[in-house]
Amino acid sequence: MAESYKEVQRKLFSSEFNKFFRKKISLYLGKIEKLRKKYLLFVYIIAAIALLPVIISFVYFLIDYEGMLLILSKHGINILMFEAFILVLISYIVKGYQNKVKPLILPRLLSFAGDFRIIDKNSPEYNVRPYVSSLELFSFFNRYSCDDRIEGMYKNIKISISEILLRKETGSGKRRRIVTIFDGLLVKVPCLKKYKGTTYIKRNGICLDFSGNKVNLEDPEFEKYYDVYSSDQIEARYLITTAFMNRMVELAKKGIGQNITLSFEHGNINIAVASSKDWFELPIMKSANDIVVYRAIILEIITILSIIDSLKLDVNIGL
């Protein structure tokens, strides 16, 4: 039987992870650190180029205040566009480093947490847009991107983790607007209860568009944190039992459930974890030899597993 997330967490901060790190990871650190320094050098060079106009402008400002104001009035937008381009370029370089080292290290690293694998971007399995589009939870987006796709077995259930960014673009030209609908992780877990309709549990204050009628579950503490919508009021009460509500409340109190929305669709429980952070990435500003970097990535997986454990999604005893 697979280890619980608590056991993985305990091992992460014991000598067991140190042994795993030396045996499975340290062999590749020299190559990764060499790549990191190479990409970081590019970042520093481009950042220096970006600072040059700022330094020149500051010096000129001290010498000729009115002349500098005149230059800014004529070319200020161009300067801002140049600086924005530099930021985009730096972001591109950082992402290039992360994409280079991720296939080398991440699959080996995730093996510490269990039977997980990284889905290759060239694999048909990588494209989860059809599934995401089929969810009423995310019915109002027309721009989609996916960064990481991870699949694995945890306590005899197959889980799928997708890092996605969903946006809605409207208008064109000066009226073009892009609004972020969702940024974070979508975790798909098979539901051990059978159902036909669609039911949603969302944290109060999270704005996601979906249909369905409000369900009042007569639990003041639960409704202090969450709202429930469903296409079938009776089925919603069948799915969301008192015990399940208690677990959701505990998640909220711990802070884990602060930004999560759950949907019961297509025979699964879909957990949307809203977060704009880059998940499962090696930071370019930290040494590749630092064990803390790799421990942090395992902790991100543990966060997801803790939600599954807390809600007992692996136990066929009724939610």
DSSP string for residues in 192-252: SS--SS-EEEEETT-------EEE--S-HHHHHHEEEEES-HHHHHHHS-HHHHHHHHHHH
pTM for this entry: 0.82
Distance CA 244, CA 240 (A): 6
> What is the dihedral angle through the alpha carbons of 124, 301, 135, 212, rounded to the nearest 10 degrees?
170
Which residue in 294, 279, 306 sits closest to 20, CA to CA?
294
Residue ranges, the chain, pLDDT below 50: 1, 317
> Do residues 188 and 264 lie in contact, with contact meaning Cβ atoms separated by under 8 Å?
no
pLDDT at position 128: 92
Tokens of 14: 């014991």
Backbone φ, ψ for residue 6 (5° rounding): -65, -35
pLDDT at position 264: 92
The single-letter DSSP state of residue 192 is: S
Which residue in 195, 194, 208, 317 sits closest to 262, CA to CA?
208
Q: Residue 225 is which amino acid?
A: Y
pLDDT at position 211: 64
pLDDT at position 288: 92
Distance CA 95, CA 147 (A): 10
Tokens of 247: 């677990």
Tokens of 194: 């059978």
CB crowding 181-190: b at 16 or more within 10 Å, else e: bbebbbbbbe
pLDDT at position 1: 44
